[in-house]
Amino acid sequence: MANSTGSTDPIIIIGAGMAGLACANWLHRAGRPVLVLEATDAVGGRVRTDVTPDGFRLDRGFQILLTNYPEARRMFDYGALNLKSFRSGAVVRMTDGHETTLENPLHAPIMAFAALASPIGTAKDKLLLAKLVAQLAGCTPAQLLARPSVATIDYLHRYGWSEQIITNFFKPFFGGVYLDRELGTASNFFEFVFQQFAQGAAAVPALGMQQLPEQLAARLPAEAIRLSMPVMAVSEGGRRVHLASGETLAAAAVVLATDGPAAARLLGADLPAPASPAARPTTCTYFATAGAAPSHGHNILHLNARPGALVHNVAFPAETGASVAPLGQGLVSVSTHGEHGLPEDALTARLRAELIAWFGPVANMWRHLRTYRIEQALPVYGPGQPAQQELQLGDTLFRCGDWVSYPSLNAALGTGRQVADMLLVH
């Protein structure tokens, strides 16, 4: 049967990351034939989980799903994902090396900070947090993302927070979300993420983050996804797709759901330059612990405010109840953001020394499992950048993904849905 573009050919989606799979799902639900072509051997793009021979499930980089994301709520069956949440809050290792625990700092800021005789922030800081929670509660996520922006660090200063809370809380917490310790990321994204943390949980599927794309892929017919199928070029404005195998496929339309650099390689001069072509790197180092979990974990994220540290945040994902470590063992995920210039061995040794200073001699017993260096983890999203760039490039050519929006799963899913909507009225 011909579709509304007058063609019996499928809509070809290049890339089986979250954006491509979301787009394919919405089109398939509406009865449109789709074909997803993915260069690698599995779905997920930047959301992948490896299973080691001894039974650890390692996400390729520390990553969480904020359960309140509007697009995620539209798309996923949370029950089937068996989501496991981190306790809301964080243990912060402050600049002086002392630790303080913040329970629910964004859910119930006054309680979280007021109960503490903690030097994490001033009395005014606590009131400002409560004020922002209340202000943002009155806005939709779309309204927040549409706001004009400055760098988050400038926003925090203008809002009136002290250096104390910026250094001890905002830099380690939001620096971890942005992979940008200096908080140069745009403030409209800060407001969106702040609201999402305040209103939802930070969770992981029990079997690892790759369960998210797997759930979307499972809703498509098996023949609608072809793995290990790198695309080399798109021609005729989105009517022809050329594969590395030499095959050429006819398409009703093409959706570029790759990352930004791959899209540029595919289209070259035909693709408008992205607002920011740069990306932020991160490194995730995993250790195994003997015994169920370190006693100081308590299922809460650990943030490091110490200047110059390579350990930026530490999580113990098995403490959430996720099945990511073999019985009787625990898992430690250590994130290091930005460029460190160290080979894996030297980085692991430096991290171990910092972990011993933080968690005690027990960290010397933690067994190094694997290190993931992710060069293009998040697209840079700077002040003034639009929350969404043009998604339609031609009559039969579209694009989606976080790089044409903002650096989040919500953006990848959302742009995928919007492209599907455009195609359905095409």
Residues that bind ligand FAD (CB under 6 A): 14-20, 37-40, 45-47, 61, 63-64, 230-231, 257-259, 262, 266, 282, 374, 377-378, 401-402, 407-410, 412
Cβ nearer to ligand FAD, comparing 217 with 231: 231
What's the rounded Cα separation, in Å, for the pair 383 and 274?
14
Residue (19 or 249) nearer to ligand FAD, CB: 19
* Smallest separation (angstroms) from ligand FAD to the CB of 177: 7
Phi and psi of 397, rounded to 5°? -140, 125
- The residues, ordered by sequence, that sit 6+ positions from 148 with a Cβ below 8 Å of its Cβ are 188, 384
401: nearest Cα among 369, 378, 422, 423: 378
For ligand FAD, the closer CB: 16 or 318:
16
Task: Concatenate the DSSP letters of all residues of 248-288 into one string.
Answer: EEE-SEEEE-S-HHHHHHHHGGGSPPPS---EEEEEEEEEE
Helix (H, G, I), strand (E, B) or coil at 29: helix
Rank residues 186 and 262 by Cβ distance to ligand FAD and give the closer one.
262
Residues 6+ apart with CB under 8 A from 169: 92, 102, 105, 120, 121, 303, 305
Q: Residue 29 CB, nearest distance to ligand FAD (Å)?
A: 18
CB atoms within 10 A of CB 285: 25
Please tell me the number of Cα atoms within 13 Å of 121 on its side-chain side. Answer: 27
Least distance to ligand FAD from the beta carbon of 244, Å?
8
* Nearer of residues 58 and 257 to ligand FAD, judged by Cβ: 257
> Residue 233 CB, nearest distance to ligand FAD (Å)?
9
CA nearest 107: which of 86, 134, 78, 83?
134
- Whichever of 22 and 94 has its CB closer to ligand FAD, that residue is 22
128 vs 378 by CB, closer to ligand FAD: 378
Q: Which is nearer to ligand FAD, 118 or 196 (CB)?
A: 196
Least Å distance between CB 176 and ligand FAD? 9
Which CB, 136 or 400, lies closer to ligand FAD?
Answer: 400
Give alpha helix (H) positions in 52-201.
70-75, 78-81, 109-114, 123-137, 141-145, 152-159, 163-165, 171-178, 187-199
Sheet holding 225-226, edge to edge: 225-226, 34-37, 11-14, 253-256, 397-399, 392-394
Q: How far apart are the first and last CA of the chain?
A: 16
Find the shortest distance in angstroms from Cβ 242 to ligand FAD.
10
| DSSP state, residue 326 | -
Length of the chain: 426
Give the chain's largest Cα–Cα span. 69
Smallest separation, CB 254 to ligand FAD (Å): 11
H or E segment to which residue 99 belongs = strand 99-103
Provide the minimum distance between the beta carbon of 19 and ligand FAD in the complex, in angstroms, as a whole number: 3
Query: For residues 9 and 402, which CB has a smaller minimum distance to ligand FAD in the complex?
Result: 402
Minimum separation from the CB atom of position 127 to ligand FAD (A)? 29
* Minimum CB distance to ligand FAD, residue 424 (Å): 20
- Please say which residue, 409 or 420, places its beta carbon nearer to ligand FAD: 409
Are the beta carbons of 259 and 45 closer than 8 angstroms?
yes
Compute the least distance from the CB of residue 163 to ligand FAD, in Å: 26
Distance between CA atoms of residues 217 and 197, nearest Å: 27
Burial (0-12, 13-18, 19+ Cβ within 10 Å), 62: buried
